[in-house]
Amino acid sequence: MRGIRARVLRICDMTVDTDALVRPDGPGSGGAKTVIPCWAMLIEHPEGLVLFDTGERTCEDGSSGRERLVEQLALCGVSPEHVRLVILSHLHHDHAGNLDLFPDADVVVQRRELEVAQAEVAAGTPGSIYRREEISGAVRWRVIDGEREILPGIRLIPAPGHTEGLQAMLLDLERPMLVTSDACYTARNFGPPARLPGLYRDASETLRSVERLRGIAGRSGAFVMFGHDSEQFSRMRLAPVPYE
């Protein structure tokens, strides 16, 4: 759709076990680590500014992801209060931090994702990747169920598995862009064949979601942007240079 531009905002790097990205068939990589990107995406839409994911609050080197997000928005000539709509792929802390920067924006999330995250935070579930400070503030939640064109040219597509309520996004750019978030960490998970990551809630659902996204990419001719693919990210255009 004419008039949509997307800019990738680099927030920080994260160090993870290599085997956490793609579950090994055999003995694994023996504790090898991989550095992966944490990012958000600013979308200029004729109906207003949209932010897809909000990045990490505090980066692993102790620096402020919040300051980094504000800097990256400023690179695009945008202040947080200009953002009208926030879309969260899911509520893990590296995707849903810094929400307090956007008290006046509607925050779009799948109902199932919010329910599970709030239940885990309330119960203090051990090992949970959801953090109270990300989801317990005065957020203007706009809860949706299932696939939705949230604005013309911005389609949200449930892709559960990594979390119960994860959603991907299909952007109607000159070449469509399918943003998988953590439904697919890397090109290796995308396949074919689809490969499980090291972390998921439901294995068969995770693989089904990848197959579904691959089908959508095939039919739409979309460029597929993965959630944490450092090799792909090194080749991406970064803000302020847009995809349009």
Q: How many residues bind Zn ion (CB under 5 A)?
A: 2
Q: Print the binding letters for residues 85-114 with Zn ion: x by CB under 5 A, - otherwise.
A: -------x----------------------
Nearest in space to 182 (alpha carbons), one of 156, 200, 205, 203? 200
Using rule CB under 5 A, residue 228 touches Zn ion? no
Using rule CB under 5 A, residue 57 touches Zn ion? no
What DSSP letter does each residue of 221-240 carry, written as one string? T-EEEESS-HHHHTTS--TT
For 224, residues 6+ apart whose C-beta sits below 8 A from its C-beta are 177, 178, 180, 184, 190, 213, 217
Q: Please provide the size of the chain in residues.
A: 244
Q: How far is the CB of 162 from Zn ion (least distance, A)?
A: 6
Q: Which own/partner pairs from 190-195 qualify as long-range (CB within 8 Å, at least 24 positions apart)?
A: 190/214, 190/224, 190/226, 195/22, 195/23
Q: How far is the CB of 111 from Zn ion (least distance, A)?
A: 18
Q: Which is nearer to Zn ion, 160 or 176 (CB)?
A: 160
Q: Which is nearer to Zn ion, 173 or 207 (CB)?
A: 207
Interface with Zn ion by CB under 5 A: which range of 28-36, 152-160, 180-188, 236-244? Answer: 180-188
Using rule CB under 5 A, residue 182 touches Zn ion? yes
Q: How far is the CB of 198 from Zn ion (least distance, A)?
A: 12
Give the binding site for Zn ion (CB under 5 A): 92, 182
